[in-house]
A and B are shown apart, each in its own frame.
Chain A
Amino acid sequence: MIELAHFQVVSAALFAIGIYGVLARRSAVLILMSIELMLNAVNVNLIGFAAFGDFTEGQRALGQVLIIFVITIAAAELALAIAIILRLYRNRSTVNVDEISLMKW
C-alpha cells in the first residue's frame, strides 16, 4: 500500500542529492544537472499530493497542471543555461565554476 509519505520521502531524498550536487560539483554542466534533479523532486512532491490528498477533481488537476508548468520552465531554463555555458566556454575556455569569478566582488 503506497502512501503519501513514500512520495514525500523520495522527493526529499532527490532534493537533498540535488543540493549536494550543486554545492560539491565544479563543472557548470553538472551543477545544471543537479538543478534539474531538484526540480524533479518538487514534481514528485506535487504528484504525491495530487494523487493522495483529500481534494476535489479541480484541485487534483491543478496539481498536474503545475507540474506541466514546472517541466516547461525547466526546459526554458535549461536552454538558456546551456547557451550561457557555451558562451562562457568560448570566452574563457573553461566551465569550472571556481575559475569563473567575473561577477565576484
Chain B
Amino acid sequence: MPITPSLALFYVVGALALGGALVVVMSRNIVYAAFGLLASMIGVAGLFLLAFAEFLALAQILIYGGAVVIVILFALMLTRIEDFENLSDHPQWPVAALVAIAVFGLIAATVVGTTAAASDRQGLSFTALGRNLFTEWAVAFEVASLVLLVALIGAVVLVRGGGSRD
C-alpha cells in the first residue's frame, strides 16, 4: 500500500490522538493528564479535517480545546491536587487493562473482517450541513439547546445551594 500524503497526515494526527489519550490514563501528574486530553482532542480535530468536516474540526477545537480542558483545569485547581500522586495504582488495573485489550481486539477483529459498502472520501459543504441542521433536524437542535440550558442551571444550583435559605 503506497504512503500518500493524506495517509501520512492520518498517521500523525492518529498518533497525536492516541498518544494524548495514553497520557490521560497513564500520567502520574494530573495536570499532564489534562494537557494530554488537549492533545488528544486536537488529534481528533485533525481526523475530522481529514474526513473533510471543517465545521466539526472548528467546533472540536473551540469546545474541547477552549472550554472543556479549561473547565477540567479549574476543577483540578478547586480540588486537592497533592492526593493524586499515587492515585493511578488502583489494585484492579490489570483487570482494567485486560478488559480494554479485549474490547479493542474484538472491535478491531470485527472491523478487519467486515467489508462495509464504502465509497471515495467525500466531504460536506458548510451550506449543506447548515441547511440540514436547521431544516430537517431543527426540532432536535432546539431540544439540544434546552438540554444545555437545563444543565447550566442545574450546575449553578448544585454548586451554590448549600441547603441554607439566603
Contact = CB atoms under 8 A, between A and B. Distances in A.
A77 to B, nearest CB: 7
Interface string A52-85: 1111011011101101110111111111101111
Interface residues of B, number: 88
Given A48-B51, A75-B148, A87 B103 contact: no
B80 to A, nearest CB: 7
Contact of B158 (A8, A18, A84): A84
Chain B interface, >50% SS class: helix
27 contacts: A13-B18, A14-B44, A18-B21, A20-B25, A20-B96, A21-B24, A25-B90, A33-B24, A33-B34, A36-B64, A47-B48, A49-B116, A51-B121, A52-B122, A54-B118, A57-B128, A64-B56, A69-B140, A76-B147, A76-B151, A78-B71, A79-B155, A82-B71, A82-B155, A83-B154, A83-B156, A85-B75
Interface of B: 1-2, 4, 6-7, 10, 14, 17-18, 21-22, 24-25, 30, 33-34, 37, 40-41, 44, 47-48, 50-53, 55-56, 59-60, 63-64, 67-68, 71-72, 74-76, 78-80, 83-84, 87-88, 90, 92-93, 95-97, 99-101, 103-104, 107-108, 111-112, 116-124, 128-129, 132-133, 136-137, 140, 144, 147-148, 150-152, 154-156, 158-159
